[in-house]
Structure 1
Amino acid sequence: MPVALAERGVRRFPTGETNPRIAEYNNHTNLIGYDDKVSWCSSFINWCLANAGVRGTGSALARSWLEWGKAIETPVYGCVAVLTRDDPNSWKGHVGFYVRHDAEFIYLFGGNQLDEVRELAYPLTSVLGYRWPESF
């Protein structure tokens, strides 16, 4: 989490410009060479884990995290939370680091949350799973 939290406020640049930091996040996935206009939540998680010495999925797909590490039933601070986006049966999703939850919302810290690295609330019903590195 310290690596992720240090990135707070990194945000997508306006059309015609690219934030080089987000391009760097993408370089840790199959989005090598892409700008900041693509979905980069998974790129951010991969970058953070790589900088903490933990191997990620290497994929830009948020749902790729459902196959990473080990599943945990009860979320713990800093675990990877995978959410559905739009249709629970589609390939689309979102991924971030778990911060906390209440009766209605899960609060994640991650990238591409309102176009920046920040904490944001999502419906608790959108959770697909929680993951933790195998080596921990």
Structure 2
Amino acid sequence: MLPSRYAWLAREPGPKMIVEALKLFGTMEKPGAANNPTIVAWAKEVGGEVADVYKADSIPWCGLFMAVVAKRAGKELPKHPLWALSWSAFGAKAPAPALGDVLVFTRSGGGHVGLYVGEDASAFHVLGGNQSDRVCITRIAKARLYAARRPLYRVEPANVRPIHLEATGALSLNEA
């Protein structure tokens, strides 16, 4: 269930990637050697090299989450979608981050990818997978932004817009 401060998202009619991502909200990886069969099944659904490589939810899965969301939304995936930084080649460069855009971040040891749902003065509010080992919304410092990419639309949804939110909740320092 969405936290009350993000409940408005459930009433947004699009973009389709947000709608699809919200259906997965709250999915959690299993601790230790166990695997959440839902997350592992996403790799099979995406197919190709993703299905060949991804076998356990202990493997970073922010890119896997984005791949299954994009596929379900009918969007073309970047090459090597498991790698967060590969999403910097997705869609088209966004002139300014807005609802439903793919945000790619740098972090120690790699990157992170998720969907823009809003921003405050210092952070983006990001709907993504493998954030505290689950699908949730977290705040990530704007200074870590590597790329903002807009999905390719035949007709861009009217609600693709910047969303200004209050700075509530902890700032994520590492989504690994």
The normalised TM-score by structure 1 is 0.89
Q: Give the distance between the partners of 1:115 and 1:93, measured in 2 at CA.
A: 15
Q: Which runs of 5+ in 2 are unaligned?
A: 1-17, 155-176
Percent identical among aligned pairs is 30
Q: Give the distance between the partners of 2:114 and 2:41, measured in 1 at CA.
A: 17
1:25 deviation in Å?
A: 2.5
Report the counterpart of residue 63 of structure 1 in structure 2.
85
1:24 deviation in Å?
A: 2.1
The 10-residue stretch of structure 1 (95-104 or 15-24) with the greater mean CA deviation from structure 2:
15-24
Q: Give the distance between the partners of 2:33 and 2:64, measured in 1 at CA.
A: 21
Report the counterpart of residue 111 of structure 1 in structure 2.
129
The 10-residue stretch of structure 1 (24-33 or 94-103) with the greater mean CA deviation from structure 2:
24-33
Report the counterpart of residue 17 of structure 1 in structure 2.
34
The normalised TM-score by structure 2 is 0.70
The 10-residue stretch of structure 1 (9-18 or 117-126) with the greater mean CA deviation from structure 2:
9-18
Q: Give the distance between the partners of 1:54 and 1:13, measured in 2 at CA.
A: 28
Deviations 1:5-52 (A, max 9, x none): 011110010213110111122332634241110000011011011111
Q: Which runs of 5+ in 1 are unaligned?
A: none
What letter is aligned with 1:83? F
Whichever structure has more strand as a proportion of its residues is: 1
1:59 deviation in Å?
A: 2.0
Larger-Rg structure: 2
> Which 4+ residue blocks in structure 1 deviate beyond 3 angstroms?
none
- The answer to which structure, 1 or 2, has the higher relative contact order (CA under 8 A, 6+ apart) is 1
1:135 deviation in Å?
A: 4.0
The size of the alignment, in residue pairs, is: 132
